Each structure stands twice: as C-alpha cells, then as structure tokens.
Homo-oligomer: A and B are copies of this chain.
Amino acid sequence: MPQSKKINPEEILKHHELKATPQRIEVLSTFLKRNQVMSLAELNKMLGKEFDRITLYRTLNTFEEHGLIHKIPDSNGNINYALCKHESLDHSHNDNHIHFQCTSCNLTVCLEELEIPIIRIPKKFNPVKYIFLIEGICEDCDGKVKKHKGLV
C-alpha cells in the first residue's frame, strides 16, 4: 500500500525554523484542516474563544514572514489568509497568483494556476510585489440570483 504523504504541523514548523509551540501547531492545523482561505473572524471561531487573540495576531505575522501563509486583502480592507502551497517541505512557494472574491458571499479563492502578468510601470517606481484581486459573483450566488429572478 502506498504511504500517504502525512502532513505533520510540527515538521512543517521546524522546516521553517519556527519553534513548534502548541499554539502554532493549533493554528497551522486549522489551516491544514480547512485547506481554504480564511478570514480572521473564521480563524478565531475555529480556534475557539480561549485562544488568545494577540498570540494569533503574532502567529499570523510570523507565519507570513516565514512564507507559510500569505495575506489576501480585499477592497474593503479586510484581510483573508491562505496557506502557501509548497512542493514537499522545501522553502519554495509561490504567492504570485490572482485571487477571486465573491462580493455576495465573501468566498475567497486562490487561483494558483493564474500568475499575475508582469506590467511595465514608470521607471521611477521599483516594483517588488504584485497584488491582483478580481471581485465578482461566484457560481452559487449567481445561481441564487437567477433563481430568485425566475430566470431558471
């Protein structure tokens, strides 16, 4: 039988040179369990109200600095968080992709396969990082609207 790749939060943390504290393990496990974009509110809810919010704040900062997660800001200034996809346990990861957010239900997704196109900008601006968010309506919400309007 093929050995399924086990995702061990402790090992991931150590590979990123982070102390494997219970809090970090819990946060990382939450990301691995849900495996989707999460808002701070959703994270707080999943972790339970016993989990210290300042610790979560610092944990998210630390995870981002070490390339475990990336932030996805939306047009209202709300920030969502997503795990960075890693091939195996090495440090390579790629956040340079487009994100989509449904303005109706707030579903937010990483479009990992869609790289952000490089744009030439005036030379007095030295580009470092690109953020490309597409806002719109997801399939589910679109369906509901059409159904409600009697179009289906």
Q: Which residues of A contact B (CB under 8 A)?
A: 71, 73-79, 98, 100, 102-103, 109, 111, 114, 117, 119, 121-122, 124-139, 142
Docked complex Cα distance between A78 and B79 (Å): 10
By a CB distance below 8 angstroms, the chain B residues around A71 are 75
Docked complex Cα distance between A77 and B73 (Å): 6
By a CB distance below 8 angstroms, the chain B residues around A77 are 73, 77-79
Label chain A's interface by main secondary structure. Answer: strand
Contact status of A98 and B117, CB under 8 A, knowing A77-B78, A133-B131:
no
The reply to whether B139 and A119 form a contact with Cβ atoms under 8 Å apart is no
The reply to whether A135 and B127 form a contact with Cβ atoms under 8 Å apart is yes
Nearest CB in chain B to that of A74: its residue: B73
Contact status of A129 and B125, CB under 8 A, knowing A71-B75, A73-B74, A75-B73:
no
Docked complex Cα distance between A37 and B119 (Å): 21
